[in-house]
Amino acid sequence: MPSMPSARAALLWAAAPAAFLAVFYFRPLFRIVWTSFALEGSGASLDPTLGYWSRILGFTIWQAAASTAVTVAVGVPLAWWVHQVRGFRKRWALGLLTVPFVMPAIVVGVAFTALVGPHGLLNQILMYLLSLDQPPLDLLHSFPLVIVAHLFYNVSVVVRIVAGFWDLLDRRLGDAARVLGAGSWVRLWTIDLPLLLPGLLSAALLVFLFCFSSFGVALILGGLEFTTLEVEIYRQAASFFNLRTATILSLLQVTATFLVMYLHTHLQSKSSRPRVLGVESEPARPSGLSRTATLCLNSVVGGMVLVLLLPLIALALRSVTLGESLLTAQHFVGLFRQDRDVAFLASPWAALGNSLKYGLVAAAVSVPLGLCMTYAVSRAPRWLGRWLDPLFLLPLGTSTVTLGLGYILAMGPLRTSPWLVPMAHSLIALPFVLRIILPTVRGLSPSLGEASAVLGASPLQTWQRVALPLLAPALTVALVFAFLTSLGEFGATMLVARPQHPTIPLMIFRSLGQPGLVNLGQALALSTILMALSAGAMFLLDRIPGVARDF
Amino acid sequence: MAFLSLRGVAKAFVPDLPVLQGFDLDVQAGEIVCLLGASGCGKTTLLRVLAGLERADAGDMRLEGREIQGLASHRRRIGFMFQDHVLFPHMNVGDNIAYGLRRQGWSRASIPDRVAELLDLVRMPGYAARGIQELSGGESQRVALARSLAPNPRFLLLDEPLASLDRKLREDLVQEVKDLLQGLSMTALYVTHDQEEAYAIADRIALLHDGCIIRQGPPQDLYQDPGTAYAARFLRMVNLFPCAGPAVDKLPSWLQREFERTGPAAYILIRPDALVTQPWQSSQDAIAVPVQVRDLTFRGRYYELRVNALDSGVRPQTWPMVLDLVAAETSARLLEELTASIAEAEPLSLHLARARMQLLVA
Amino acid sequence: MGANADMNVALSRIVGLWSGVLLAMGLAACVSGGGAMVASPPAEPEVLILASHDSFNISEQVLAEFETAHHAEVQYLALGDAGAALNKMLLSKEDPLADVMFGVDNSFLSRALEGDLFVAYASPQLEGIANDLRLDASNRLLPVDFGFVNLNADRAWFEEQGLPLPTSLEELAQPAYRGLLVVQNPATSSPGLSFLLATIGHFGDDWPDFWTDLRLNDVLVTSGWSEAYFTHFTVGSGGTGDRPLVVSYSTSPPADVLFAEDGREIPASVNLNLKGGTFRQIEFVGIVQGTERLALAQAFVDFMLGSTFQEDIPLNMFVYPALTAAALPDLFVQFADIPSDPVHVDPVDIEQNRELWIEQWTEIMLR
């Protein structure tokens, strides 16, 4: 129930999330920056030249811009389709497309390798079709593959945001254009796209941000030929111990993130109307296309979804065919086997348990904090909200390597605690939680609260009986999303997790660190399980009605 | 052959729940036909089907003799003015009006002239550069009209174009729209749920109910003979009473014959001007109804008389009937009689003209 | 509006309080979790924290032996790869993360010693350790194990193609071996760096020429070991890879047997042991300066150098024990022969030139 904007109320609401961010984000960041400039011998032995900085920054921006362009180009037609359909097709498409978004980069790497690697699914199909002896495609470690992987990761962001905007457009605008003589293409260019522009830009900025801070995908699929800022931070900090260079790069990245998010917030507040609850159930309206055209479109879009999901399909296929000519379940069965007696090595099932536990804690911590953030942002006067929103989103664009080093300095006894893992996950989930709940909170009418208060309800009762039921769907979606984020998180987990308490992504990483087919099989099986879990949760998530899904 | 001819047009969004069923309508060139009906009666759907925004399930639609069903919406050259106007928010007034012209491939040079011409037509000269958000309700209505007229449509559809405006503005604009359409000899189908708007604008009114036309004709005819009680009620006619168990034998013979036509479960419609103040000629022209007068109100041009009818054999006794007495024709004697009747609670016999009463089926 | 504003303030307080409580609970949980590891009542076993890289492994029973004997509980802190682990320890020098650190290797030895991270401890167990492994005369870092980065080949693949296995590094640059080798990027991979160091030691100042030739001969570079081994190496990928030669370890062939699913007894891969193509990685253990459990830490170092632990090393970490007398498992004896003359590069040289060499390598291979 947003009431009159007030800086005081906003800051009061912001207190708890701000405290959390201070402890788990700003203090560690500050400590590592401070130390890296104070610590002797942490500087580079080779002084970075201007050419070095501009090369790193230039490539980072270039690859992010190219990835964004491709993602938007593919995302918009998909968004159009998602906007046209209703019911289970919409839910499936959205759910499946979002699965990659919560997958750890290491799994995406494995999946792409299973697809386009030598003897990957694609090469095998081509070899069979063209009767070739050698795999025809060599896509690994190529720039296009990095772009495609970014597309695969982020296309759901564009689809969700743009389709969300599209659903809110008055359809009669298109009708009006139609009767004035505009065909479908003309309508798209003259009516829909201009009106979608703010949404499109805000989606593009978000994708740009994700690609700008790309680490795992760039490193695993691109290699060091394609050094993004975040990869370089990792290289400088982990390989060379050039903390000063790493820190300067990190600060550069944080600044860029803030600028991009500031722009994003600005665009969003300019364009988004408060969401009216429950308008989504509007039945499908005919698109004005013939039955054949609709069928063609459906198959094209279905094909696109399929292509986008091919890496995951290839991964699943590989997990049941590895080392065998026919189908085999042995890699899954193998997860039950614990024939090595090794200290500190948790079983895959314990890892699954940890993942679920951390996911629940991360959801339980991030959603209440996110709700407070949401109230703070929705209640803040314009000038304050413009700063609060991007500030809360900063963790999204901060190098986990840098932050991980900061944790070592700033966390005291906490730094070796397994509880640090869900805390780090909460930090990463918070921006998404904020994005999911904010439109609903903005859409709650203040008169609801007033009406309830007039009827004699106490503030708490009012919140419980009026706001909570209206917020419940958004909160549920946020909970599930936070859970999924935690489930698939790898970078930060890697830096703070204890080996006795591994998560699934960590277990996959560990399995891939030792030779032998048993280990590869285990990694593939675990990746497939993680994927199935995420897909299932995503599907459920999109069944919840009346919520913004365009984080 | 009519300019627009519809035969058996049917449309259902949900199977077995038709919105339009077997819809027939002819519109002559230059005629303004008003579709009048309650919300949900299918009138907007009919417009959307005609404009090609929905596909009809069945039926035959011809414009100037040519089938239009297979023609894409943007090729039909039918203008459409939407409820709430639906102006393009990202364009200014001029670009809104020019939108259809651009689609028709008007030359760059000729567009501003045409836009100016239309702005003059809707009496908004110089508004071309204005933003949509700056317009008042009436202004945006005019812009919407200009936009739909700009590409010279063969035929104009108007979907409750005035519904979002306040009453005063509506009354002013309805005449303006009529003049404008007549001036352009534009054939139009005008949808409304407001009978006064319909009377004011239509050459012909078609009354819709459950996806069918239940009655149509010039406004005067419809007023004179609504045909059914439903139509009368929809046209907001007063003094429509169900005739529960009429004592037929007490009635004059012409009324008895009417009942034979309608059956006993009919409604009687008594026009407010049915009161005959001059001595009547015979029982063929009027009937005497014993009433209890409840009050008499001076309304300027006329007096309004509320009466409770006593046992007339036609209607239950408790409901007030509203009758008008034209002030200029009311004699001082009658006024005295009426006032006395109210004061003393004495029943009185009023004479109602036969021509101003009719029996209607439900 | 006034009542509403009051309500909102009240509400915000309630929710603020609630989140505060939640945060406090979270923090308390963290503190209690961490606290249990740091401070424990006397009746509880004494906790020893061992920091290492991610690939530290030891048998449960072996560890239990130590824990029982010293009434201690050993906790393992994984800090990333060898370089990252050392960096984190250096970063937290003022407030040490652990009591003992294992896993500093010879390429990082100099950095660790310069950082003054460890205290000297002349363990009595050092007597049994081969002398050439003891690179730190001050005994701050004590050798625990050693391994060899080596080229592995797919035996069956070469037989099928009728191609002899390469016998020298130079041959790898010949057309016959075009497109057969996959190596790792030395900036992001430990075996990648070791192989680069080996070639630098072998070729001296001419090493860039060798790598230029390799690049021209279509060598494949991956970021990490697992991608090279599992994706590209024909053996490691279960037949779907495209490279029959890989930079890996001398002990990868025995691992291929141990982790095989088909019960094979002879590994599908063999060590090439090329001159100049093998590099010895020695891993050291050290007692972290500032530990409050010096005695226990020393006992643990003794234990790591003792025969129980040393004999447990091969099949858990796939390296050779530093203790000369330690018995080797059959798999090692059969398939993981120790290369005769691995390349030696001085740790001080490595520390001084690492970044320069990697930059040069990157320049040659990737730009």
Pairwise pLDDT comparison (B299 vs C175), residue with the higher score: C175
- Test B90 with A194 for CB contact under 8 angstroms: yes
pLDDT tens-digit series, residues C249-258? 999 988 888 8
Three-state SS letters, A142-178: CHHHHHHHHHHHHHHHHHHHHHHHHHHCCHHHHHHHH
DSSP string, A380-394: S-HHHHHHHHHHHHG
B330: Cβ contacts below 8 Å, ≥ 6 apart: B277, B303
Three-state SS letters, chain C: CHHHHHHHHHHHHHHHHHHHHHHHHHHHHHHHHHHHHHCCCCCCCEEEEEEECCCCCCEHHHHHHHHHHCCEEEEEEECCCHHHHHHHHHHCCCCCCCCEEEEEECCCHHHHHHCCCEECCCCHHHHHECHHHCCCCCCCCEEEEEEEEEEEEEHHHHHHHCCCCCCCCHHHHCHHHCCCEEEECCCCCHHHHHHHHHHHHHHHHHHHHHHHHHHHCCCEEECCHHHHHHHHECCCCCCCCCECEEEEECCHHHHHHHCCCCCCCCCCEEECCCCCCCEEEEEEEEEECCCCCHHHHHHHHHHHHCHHHHHHHHHHHCCEECECCCCCCHHHHHHCCCCCCCECCCHHHHHHHHHHHHHHHHHHHHC
- Test C35 with A413 for CB contact under 8 angstroms: yes
Whether A180 and chain B come into contact, CB under 8 Å, resolves to yes
Highest mean pLDDT among A91-95, A340-344, C249-253: C249-253
pLDDT value of residue C4: 44
Dist. CA A107–CA A104, nearest whole Å? 5
Determine the straight-line distance between the first and last CA of chain A, rounded to whole angstroms.
20
Residues A431-457 have a mean pLDDT of 74
pLDDT tens-digit series, residues C255-298? 888 887 777 888 889 999 999 999 999 999 999 999 999 999 99
pLDDT value of residue C3: 41
Q: Please determine, for residue C209, whether its predicted confidence score (pLDDT) is greater than 90.
A: yes
Whether B104 and chain A come into contact, CB under 8 Å, resolves to yes
Which of these, B49, B59, B67, lies nearest to B13 by C-alpha position? B49
CA angle C287-C289-C294, nearest 5°?
55
- Test A417 with C8 for CB contact under 8 angstroms: no
Chain A hits for C316, Cβ within 8 Å: 342
Whether B17 and chain A come into contact, CB under 8 Å, resolves to no
Name the residue among C4, C54, C75 with its Cβ closest to that of A513.
Answer: C54
pLDDT value of residue A447: 63
Asked whether A216 and A108 are in contact (CB, 8 A), the reply is: yes
Q: Please determine, for residue A503, whether its predicted confidence score (pLDDT) is greater than 50.
A: yes
Residues C61-73 have a mean pLDDT of 93
- Test A241 with C225 for CB contact under 8 angstroms: no
Chain A hits for C8, Cβ within 8 Å: 1, 3, 9, 379, 449, 459
Whether A337 and chain C come into contact, CB under 8 Å, resolves to no
pLDDT tens-digit series, residues A372-406? 988 888 888 878 878 888 888 888 888 888 888 88
Whether C333 and chain A come into contact, CB under 8 Å, resolves to no
- Test A183 with B104 for CB contact under 8 angstroms: no
Q: Touch between chain A and chain B (3+ CB pairs, < 8 Å)? A: yes
Residues A211-220 have a mean pLDDT of 83
Q: Please determine, for residue A1, whether its predicted confidence score (pLDDT) is greater than 70.
A: no
Which of these, A174, A106, A224, lies nearest to A494 by C-alpha position? A106
Copy the structure tokens of residue A123.
């090469």
Name the residue among A234, A408, A498 with its Cβ closest to that of C91.
Answer: A408
Coil, strand or helix: which one is B348?
A: strand
Length reported for chain C = 367
Q: Please determine, for residue C9, whether its predicted confidence score (pLDDT) is greater than 60.
A: no
pLDDT tens-digit series, residues B99-150? 999 999 999 999 999 999 999 999 999 999 999 988 998 899 999 999 999 9
Q: CA of A82 to nearest chain B CA: how many angstroms apart?
A: 21
Whether B160 and chain A come into contact, CB under 8 Å, resolves to no
Chain A hits for C78, Cβ within 8 Å: 497-499
Which of these, A283, A425, A256, lies nearest to A355 by C-alpha position? A425
pLDDT tens-digit series, residues B274-288? 877 665 455 567 777
Which residue on chain A is closest to C243 by alpha carbon?
A118
Residues A236-256 have a mean pLDDT of 86
Asked whether A247 and A375 are in contact (CB, 8 A), the reply is: no
- Residue bearing tokens 């100049």: C276
Q: Touch between chain C and chain B (3+ CB pairs, < 8 Å)? A: no
Q: Within chain B, how many helices (H) and strands (E) appear?
A: 10, 17
Distances (CA, A) of B39 to B22, B44, B51, B211: 19, 9, 19, 11
Q: CA of A410 to nearest chain C CA: how many angstroms apart?
A: 10
pLDDT tens-digit series, residues B253-266? 777 777 778 777 78
Instruction: Indicate the residue type of C296.
Output: L
Instruction: Indicate the residue type of A408.
Output: I
A42: Cβ contacts below 8 Å, ≥ 6 apart: A35, A36, A241, A242, A243, A244
Pairwise pLDDT comparison (C238 vs B214), residue with the higher score: B214
Where residue A45 falls among pLDDT bands split at 50, 70, 90? low
pLDDT value of residue B157: 94
Task: Kindly provide the ipTM of the predicted complex, given to two decimals.
Answer: 0.80
Dist. CA B242–CA B316, nearest whole Å? 8
Q: Please determine, for residue C10, whether its predicted confidence score (pLDDT) is greater than 50.
A: no
- Residue bearing tokens 């045909």: B227
pTM of the model: 0.80
pLDDT tens-digit series, residues A450-484? 666 677 677 777 777 777 777 888 888 889 889 98
- Test A453 with C225 for CB contact under 8 angstroms: no
Dist. CA C193–CA C83, nearest whole Å? 11
Please report, rounded to a whole number, the percentage of residues in chain B having pLDDT higher than 70: 91
pLDDT value of residue C290: 92
Q: Please determine, for residue C42, whether its predicted confidence score (pLDDT) is greater than 60.
A: no
pLDDT tens-digit series, residues A174-198? 889 999 988 888 888 899 889 888 8
In this predicted structure, which of A240-249, A283-292, C315-324 has the lowest mean pLDDT? Answer: A283-292
Distances (CA, A) of B269 to A342, B297, B302, C365: 98, 22, 20, 99
Q: Which chains touch A (3 or more CB pairs under 8 A)?
A: B, C
pLDDT value of residue A452: 67
Q: Please determine, for residue A238, whether its predicted confidence score (pLDDT) is greater than 80.
A: no
Mean pLDDT of chain C: 85
Whether B79 and chain A come into contact, CB under 8 Å, resolves to yes
Q: CA of A287 to nearest chain B CA: how many angstroms apart?
A: 9
Whether A176 and chain B come into contact, CB under 8 Å, resolves to yes
Chain C, residues 170-199, CB within 8 A of chain A, namely 185, 187-188
Where residue B247 falls among pLDDT bands split at 50, 70, 90? low
Dist. CA C108–CA C117, nearest whole Å? 12
Asked whether C11 and A8 are in contact (CB, 8 A), the reply is: no
Whether B14 and chain A come into contact, CB under 8 Å, resolves to no
Q: Please determine, for residue A516, whether its predicted confidence score (pLDDT) is greater than 70.
A: yes
Coil, strand or helix: which one is A234?
A: helix
pLDDT value of residue A409: 85
pLDDT tens-digit series, residues A254-270? 998 898 888 887 776 65
Q: Please determine, for residue A332, whether its predicted confidence score (pLDDT) is greater than 60.
A: yes
Q: Which chains touch B (3 or more CB pairs under 8 A)?
A: A
Which residue on chain B is closest to A184 by alpha carbon?
B74
Which of these, C194, C229, C185, C191, lies nearest to C364 by C-alpha position? C185
Q: Please determine, for residue C365, whether its predicted confidence score (pLDDT) is greater than 60.
A: yes
pLDDT value of residue C5: 44
Copy the structure tokens of residue B133.
């958000």
Q: Please determine, for residue C184, whether its predicted confidence score (pLDDT) is greater than 80.
A: yes
Dist. CA A460–CA C188, nearest whole Å? 54
Q: CA of B321 to nearest chain A CA: how many angstroms apart?
A: 42
